[in-house]
């Protein structure tokens, strides 16, 4: 996969040299380049912003440097086979679609991703309209909070996508049993010593009974998800649960109705 990131703070993306993603680049599994938006300006002062039409606080990113940068990274992208779709342009924005594990999996199938990091009050909207001729444009938000610019969101999205690429995570099984891969939060984990500061590891985990351990872990996932993210249970497929799992949900205040979990009144 080819990834291009355009930013006025290219140094902000330095962590992409490290750890798993840095290793994937070294191993040739990921071709990643970071570009300074200012290198696509033509004026003496390398201007990237201007005042907003209609007034208001802050500055807006000028369209022309963005058009030059995006045209350059699209042209330098990988050879595209006939019938291959456009590259995907991801624009971090609090006004974007909510990023998720499902979207990370979609993006991991693409041959080129371009990330456009806005700063100030954002990028002139016409850039996104124009870019739709060359890219599939996806404004994207990590969550309902506001950052100072897109760079930190790009670090998160590149890591989430990069670790799904073939060969990047050493043991692909570690991608299967993790939070959100099955729509539930992960179960709690423990390591040695079995007794630590008068706190014991749950006995079932020391029992050697792998069926019991799997069931305990699944029920812990249900408990945690009900406690911390009950919204995830609204779409959980409860159609084919074993009786013990239905009972576990019953104890958490949920009934199974038409294959869906339903919160019991006054539970
Ligand atoms: O995802 B964000 O919170 C975000 C904030 C800003 C941005 C892009 C993304 N550009 C300016 C602020």
Burial 86-109 (b: 16+ CB within 10 A, else e): bbbbbbbbeebeebeeebbeebbe
CB 162 less than 6 A from any atom of ligand 1: no
The closest residue, in CA terms, to atom 1 on ligand 1 is: 93
Cα–ligand 1 centroid distance for 266 (angstroms): 41
CA separation for the pair 145, 150 (Å, rounded): 12
Residue 220 has which token pair?
Answer: 């812990």
CB 149 less than 6 A from any atom of ligand 1: yes
CA atoms within 13 A on the CB side of 32: 24
CA separation for the pair 20, 41 (Å, rounded): 33
Q: Could you read off the pLDDT of 56-97 as tens digits, one per residue?
A: 999 999 999 999 999 999 999 999 888 889 999 999 999 999
Q: At residue 254, what are phi and psi to the nearest 5 degrees?
A: -120, 135
Cα–ligand 1 centroid distance for 264 (angstroms): 40
Task: Read off the pTM.
Answer: 0.96
CA separation for the pair 166, 29 (Å, rounded): 8
Q: Could you read off the pLDDT of 214-254 as tens digits, one per residue?
A: 999 999 999 999 999 999 999 999 999 999 999 999 999 99
């Amino acid at each position: 996969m080819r990834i291009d990131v355009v930013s006025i703070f290219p140094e902000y993306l330095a962590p992409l040299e490290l750890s798993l993603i840095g290793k994937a680049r070294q191993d040739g599994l990921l071709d990643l380049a970071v570009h300074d938006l200012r290198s696509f300006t033509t004026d003496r002062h390398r201007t990237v912003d201007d005042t907003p039409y209609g007034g208001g606080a802050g500055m807006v990113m000028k369209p022309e440097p963005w058009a030059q940068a995006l045209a350059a990274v699209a042209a330098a992208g990988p050879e595209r086979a006939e019938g291959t779709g456009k590259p995907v342009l991801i624009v971090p924005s609090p006004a974007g679609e909510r990023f998720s594990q499902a979207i990370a999996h979609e993006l991991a199938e693409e041959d080129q991703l371009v990330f456009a990091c806005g700063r100030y009050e954002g990028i002139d909207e016409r850039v996104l309209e124009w870019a739709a001729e060359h890219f599939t444009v996806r404004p994207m938000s990590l969550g309902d909070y506001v950052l100072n610019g897109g760079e930190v969101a790009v670090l998160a999205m590149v890591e989430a996508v990069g670790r799904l690429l073939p060969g990047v995570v050493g043991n692909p099984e570690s991608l299967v049993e993790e939070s959100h891969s099955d729509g539930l939060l992960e179960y709690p984990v423990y390591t040695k010593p079995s007794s630590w500061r008068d706190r014991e590891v749950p006995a079932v985990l020391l029992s050697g009974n792998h069926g019991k351990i799997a069931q305990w872990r699944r029920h812990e996932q249900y408990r945690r998800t009900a406690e911390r993210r009950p919204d995830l249970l609204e779409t959980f497929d409860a159609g084919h649960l074993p009786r013990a799992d239905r009972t576990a949900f019953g104890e958490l205040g949920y009934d199974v109705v038409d294959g869906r979990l339903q919160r019991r009144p006054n539970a």
